[in-house]
């Protein structure tokens, strides 16, 4: 589940709009509204964690593939 940049921005916008609208109408205490907003927030955080861990893994893989066996020799 990796979201593209536009999808992440859309989710952030929906989250902000949801908090704003539910705060204006004083329905932020409603269980369903709160659950929906928490699920959207969880998706955003999970996407950030997944994207960062994937980029770190690919960076480590690239560094290990670039080294040749002669670079691993100790003198």
Helix (H, G, I), strand (E, B) or coil at 11: helix
Q: How high is the mean pLDDT of the chain? A: 85
Nearest CA among 18, 13, 69 for reference residue 44 = 13
Q: Which pLDDT score is estimated for 29? A: 92
Nearest CA among 41, 15, 19 for reference residue 28 = 19
Total-model pTM: 0.73
Q: Which of 13-17, 38-42, 56-60 has the lowest mean pLDDT?
A: 56-60
CA distance 25 to 11: 21
Q: Which pLDDT score is estimated for 19? A: 96
Average pLDDT over residues 41-60: 87
Pick the more confident residue, 21 or 68. Answer: 21
Of the pLDDT bands very low, low, confident and very high (cuts 50, 70, 90), residue 33 is very high
């Amino acid at each position: 589940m990796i979201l593209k940049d536009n999808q992440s921005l859309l989710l952030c916008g929906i989250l902000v709009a949801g908090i704003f609208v539910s705060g204006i109408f004083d329905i932020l205490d409603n269980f369903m509204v709160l659950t929906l907003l928490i699920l959207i927030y969880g998706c955003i955080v999970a996407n950030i964690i997944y994207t960062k861990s994937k980029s770190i893994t690919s960076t480590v893989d690239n560094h290990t593939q670039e080294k040749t066996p002669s670079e691993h020799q100790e003198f």
